[in-house]
Structure 1
Amino acid sequence: MIKNFSKILTWMKKNSQIFNIKKGIERETLRVNFDGRLSNKIHPKTLGSPLKNKWITTDFAESLLEFITPVCDNTDKMIAILSDIHRYVIHELDQELMWPLSIPCIIDDINHIKIANYGKSNVGRIKTLYRKGLKHRYGPLMQTIAGLHYNFSLSLDFWNEWAIFNKQKNKKKFISSGYFDLIRNYYRFGWIIVYLFGSSPAISSSFLNKRNGNQDIFKFHQNHKSKNTLWMPYATSLRLSNLGYTNNTNNISFLYNSLKEYNQTLYQAIKTPSQKYIKIGIKDSRNNLLQLNTNILQTVNELYVPIRPKKITYPYEEKSPNVFNIQDVEYLEIRSLDINPFSSIGIDIDQVLFLDLFLIWCLLKESPKINKKELFFIKKNWERIILEGRKPKQTIHFLEENNSIKKYFLDDFGKDILTNLQFLAEILDNNTKSNKYQKACQSFMHFFNDPDLTYSGRILKIIKKNGFQNTGLYLAKKHFNSLKKEKFEIYSKEDFIKEAKQSIFLQKELEENDNTDFKTYLKKWYNNFI
């Protein structure tokens, strides 16, 4: 499936030591009570300041935890660190559990969803106001959907050799171009990640009743045993459907054909007013701010897409966190991962290894520019796999070089991709004197022979038997008991206590030194990225 694949494999074998992958994980999870209902408690003080803690923060809501690993070049270490974060938090929760599913627990009253509070500094108030905007734009229920982001980059040694192989002299420009090659192929073939790892084929009926959106395409099933549970028989990830995390980008098309084009399109989305959001307004009748602005996107962070180019931000950039004009791509953020309900930390090591292989494959494979015709079929493929990925004889469609459309069976095409990945796995395993990549790749090959082995197939079988809420509560308690017994591996309890205290001190220091009124600060902040 890759042109000149044998030539590339020969090059890889010769340069296997340069495939040094930098990676990191951001995992979200709701705090729930022991009865499985959403917690209405504020963020625990023993977890520190969510504004300044580098490992433990919040996302949209006070009850929506987010755990962040540092950048690692070792998969085992990264997984161990993520586990340590979970081990610490589980001991600090007060009669609470961590919800193990992407789709939230039953929420009886959406008014109980408290927007995350980041303190009284201008930086903190910006973060909270942005979330108020999300609440008014999309509703608070959508924002309680949890996911997992995987951050990925390759070493400069790799890029230097890859540039030489491709006879490119401008290495800096070539790196950004290479990451965009990867992004385009992720759009073309990334549905395989959703097929294999999607874990949200079902929802609670209360979620459907409270969630606005186009529901005509959803053909839900229900039985007398689980009246509060709705599911689609072949769905993989309702989190990624129109019922889940979606944007209103007013038909602005992101094609990812170049960094320049991406910046221009993003600028258009951030700069263009939306009639829908103009109706919400900037302030209410009591002069309270409702959102940052009335544009299609308040900030870059509001762009909900499967994968995004990113640059590293540093503390001095905190006062203008929405600088969108990326000069050079430094890493990629993969955003199409559901929470793995079978793992106490939301992801397992085989998933990480597979992601590494697949992302390298997307980079090495030829990646022509995407036009609007191809984009149409790309979106249709994703929608098909999201809603009916496990359907027997499921097909996907691709735009061929002669501009014709060709149909493939999903299982055949998926197996072809994994066959390619096996060759890459051998080379990476030889470099580390192991067979972990090959084993991971082989284990997922079976998913195409039997769709019930996929994460969505496995979790749906349990949900249909026990119901959505009961399944989530059972797994939450199982993970709670497991984590309680585990010992720290990389960090200690003292490390987390020290970070929590330091984060509280840093937030207090920031607030004490904040001398600019919020109105002036907001205007200056906004001008920094427009």
Structure 2
Amino acid sequence: MANQNSAHPQAGAFQRRLAALASGPHADALRQGLRGIEKESLRVTPQGKLAMTPHPRAFGSALTHPLITTDYSEALVELITPAETDAALTLDRLDVLHRFAYSHMGDELLWNNSMPNSLPPEDEIPLGLYGTSNIGTLKHVYRRGLALRYGRTMQCIAGIHYNYSLNEDVWRAWQALDPTSTLTARDFQSERYFALIRNFRRTSWLLMYLFGASPALNRRFVEGKAHRLETFDADTFYLPHATSLRMSDLGYTNNPAQADLLPSYDNLDAYLDVLAKAVSQPYAPYEAIGTQRDGEWVQINTNVLQIENEFYSTIRPKRVTQSGERPLHALSERGVQYIEVRCLDIDPFEPTGISLETARFLDAYLLYCALEDSPLLPPRASIEANGNFSAVAKEGRKPGLTLQRDGKSVPMREWAEALFDAIEPVAKTLDALNGNDDHTRTLAALRPRIADASLTPSARVLQTMRDRQQSFDEFALELSTRHAEWFRARPLSVDEERAMEALAAKSLVDQAEVERNDTESFDAFVAEYQVYTLNRASV
């Protein structure tokens, strides 16, 4: 068996698995998986203040547009690419979305950083609006609940989500390698995605080290909160060796209700059990708030989680939902379809917030996580993984940093080098199938960051701020302005613009149709929504 924390594959099952899947009639399927990107960005004024304007109508409906919506705030734009078989195509799609957005935002900018700018007082941060339909109102009420539970400021953190799936022929071919398997094709696929998730949980601290880009923040973000951040300048706090304050304990993980949530990643049923309980179990502090104030809804319910997506995690198993379907029910009925990596910071040096190099690494790394042996992750191992992730987020560039692997200390750099060695055969296999050297060149370009922390994005952020004598806000605004100029200098072609305008127009029509078709009160709609959760999503 390979090392339980996936330091490196042994020349056994892993290598045979990789070789078998990379040859024969299904070899081409190994490079035909899908990846998509969701990028969140705050809209800000040219002076770097939060935009108080509505979601631009030219963007279409935030409720029904498939590619442009809002996340938490009316000012927090979310750009969603279609799924593509090549990361380069995915980034091209993300580039198009940025260029379209900038042609319809006036002089506003997209804040190209995970940590927010100097925000207005809590009650002035606008919540997302989704029209008058019951489902649109539910989305708004959900955000009211998030404000009560976590605060509006924290919800303005932004990030990159990377959606990844293997072609289903890969799973079929893999299962055929094991004649003793009695699982259905659907259950085998779900089981293997959970194996990927377990390996990711063990080793995703590596992503924080390589790509974390939020070592500093505006001091108002933690105003009135206990913290151990240090002063960078009059307006900025930071940690000297941090890679990602966004992924540290400044967010959801510091919430008591979620702190006790430790889903099992041993299999789909165990995972669903924990989340189904969380969306149906009352939580006393939320019960004290209630669901309505002065006749207005302030949260969907008083449970540990209002809905399953409220649970914060670095990676999620996902299944595309049908109209009106809850995510838990979709997973329970049809199994895991893809995974969503949720821990990536926006790269402030990249106009789209993520480089092709990062995407190529993710593709090789996630395939490695899928193929490597993946022992179960009992609570103790899960806590150990959380501790490693947190340590690298807060002090990943600290010289001599050690992590815990199976209860023993191991130098972070040593483990990182071993992981690169483990991923390399996967990168070579992908390149052989594609007839290029994209993934091996990516690994070669990123490996020096292990020995030289100054090459990491988090170190570059702090060094740039020092060199230019900039506060966090000044640094982020300068780069965001520069990126805006780059996008505005490259308007879409006439055909591309027409296609995007047509999507926006259709989304507005679709929203109006949803609103016309509502036949029940919002109270009745919420009651049915809750019954659906308990009777159909609980497993």
Question: What TM-score results when the alignment is normalised by the length of structure 2?
Answer: 0.93
Distance in 1, Cα, partners of 2:113 & 2:419: 28
Task: Work out whether residues 80 and 489 of structure 1, in 8 Å CA contact, stay in contact via their aligned partners in 2.
Answer: no
Distance in 1, Cα, partners of 2:144 & 2:245: 24
Q: Displacement, 1:287?
A: 1.6
Q: Displacement, 1:487?
A: 4.7
1:385 aligns with 2:397: no
Question: Among 5, 18, 26, which residue is 2:29 paired with?
Answer: 18
Give 1:163-242 correspondences, 5 Å limit: 163-167=175-179, 168-170=181-183, 171-209=185-223, 212=225, 215=227, 218=228, 220-223=229-232, 226-242=233-249
1:337 aligns with 2:339: no
Map of 1:309 onto structure 2: 317
Question: Among 469, 476, 485, which residue is 1:472 paired with?
Answer: 476
Map of 1:326 onto structure 2: 332
Map of 1:423 onto structure 2: 425
Q: Displacement, 1:326?
A: 2.5
Q: Which SS does the other structure have where 1:206 is aligned?
A: helix
1:2 aligns with 2:9: yes
Map of 1:452 onto structure 2: 454
Map of 2:530 onto structure 1: 526
Distance in 1, Cα, partners of 2:156 & 2:479: 18
Q: What letter is aligned with 1:485?
A: A
**Unaligned stretches of 5+ residues in structure 1:** 400-404
Q: Which SS does the other structure have where 1:370 is aligned?
A: coil
Map of 1:273 onto structure 2: 282
1:368 aligns with 2:382: no
Of all paired residues, the percent bearing the same amino acid is: 32
Q: Displacement, 1:418?
A: 0.9
Q: Displacement, 1:10?
A: 2.7
Any idea what the Cα deviations from partners look like across 1:442-483, whole Å, max 9, x if unmatched? Answer: 111011010111111111212343110100110110100111
Distance in 2, Cα, partners of 1:514 & 1:6: 55
Give 1:39-58 correspondences, 5 Å limit: 39-58=51-70
Distance in 2, Cα, partners of 1:203 & 1:491: 40
Task: Work out whether residues 77 and 490 of structure 1, in 8 Å CA contact, stay in contact via their aligned partners in 2.
Answer: no
Map of 2:355 onto structure 1: 348
Distance in 1, Cα, partners of 2:22 & 2:150: 49
Return closer, same or farther for 1:92/1:329 CA change in 2, 3 Å cut-off: same
Task: Work out whether residues 108 and 206 of structure 1, in 8 Å CA contact, stay in contact via their aligned partners in 2.
Answer: no
Q: Displacement, 1:76?
A: 1.7
Distance in 2, Cα, partners of 1:425 & 1:11: 15
Map of 1:461 onto structure 2: 463
Distance in 2, Cα, partners of 1:503 & 1:412: 51
Distance in 1, Cα, partners of 2:459 & 2:471: 15
Distance in 2, Cα, partners of 1:490 & 1:145: 34
Q: Displacement, 1:169?
A: 4.4
Distance in 1, Cα, partners of 2:339 & 2:495: 26
Distance in 1, Cα, partners of 2:246 & 2:260: 21
Any idea what the Cα deviations from partners look like across 1:268-289, whole Å, max 9, x if unmatched? Answer: 11111111211221111x1211
Task: Name which of structure 1's ranges 484-493 and 268-277 shifts more when overlaid on structure 2.
Answer: 484-493
Distance in 1, Cα, partners of 2:381 & 2:503: 48
Task: Work out whether residues 151 and 332 of structure 1, in 8 Å CA contact, stay in contact via their aligned partners in 2.
Answer: yes
Map of 1:402 onto structure 2: none
Map of 2:443 onto structure 1: 441
Distance in 1, Cα, partners of 2:440 & 2:259: 43
Return closer, same or farther for 1:490/1:414 CA change in 2, 3 Å cut-off: farther
Q: What letter is aligned with 1:118?
A: Y
Q: Which SS does the other structure have where 2:342 is aligned?
A: strand
Q: What letter is aligned with 2:208?
A: V
Map of 2:3 onto structure 1: none
Return closer, same or farther for 1:408/1:361 CA change in 2, 3 Å cut-off: same
Distance in 1, Cα, partners of 2:428 & 2:435: 10
Question: Among 388, 413, 416, which residue is 1:414 paired with?
Answer: 416
Count of matched residue positions in the alignment of Structure 1 and Structure 2: 515
Map of 2:143 onto structure 1: 131
Return closer, same or farther for 1:68/1:221 CA change in 2, 3 Å cut-off: same
Q: Which SS does the other structure have where 2:34 is aligned?
A: strand
Q: Which SS does the other structure have where 2:332 is aligned?
A: coil
Distance in 1, Cα, partners of 2:21 & 2:396: 33
Q: Which SS does the other structure have where 1:240 is aligned?
A: coil
Q: What letter is aligned with 1:77?
A: L
Task: Work out whether residues 29 and 98 of structure 1, in 8 Å CA contact, stay in contact via their aligned partners in 2.
Answer: yes
Distance in 2, Cα, partners of 1:44 & 1:6: 51
Map of 1:85 onto structure 2: 97
Q: What letter is aligned with 1:283?
A: Q
Q: Displacement, 1:321?
A: 6.3
Q: Displacement, 1:18?
A: 2.2
Question: What TM-score results when the alignment is normalised by the length of structure 1?
Answer: 0.94
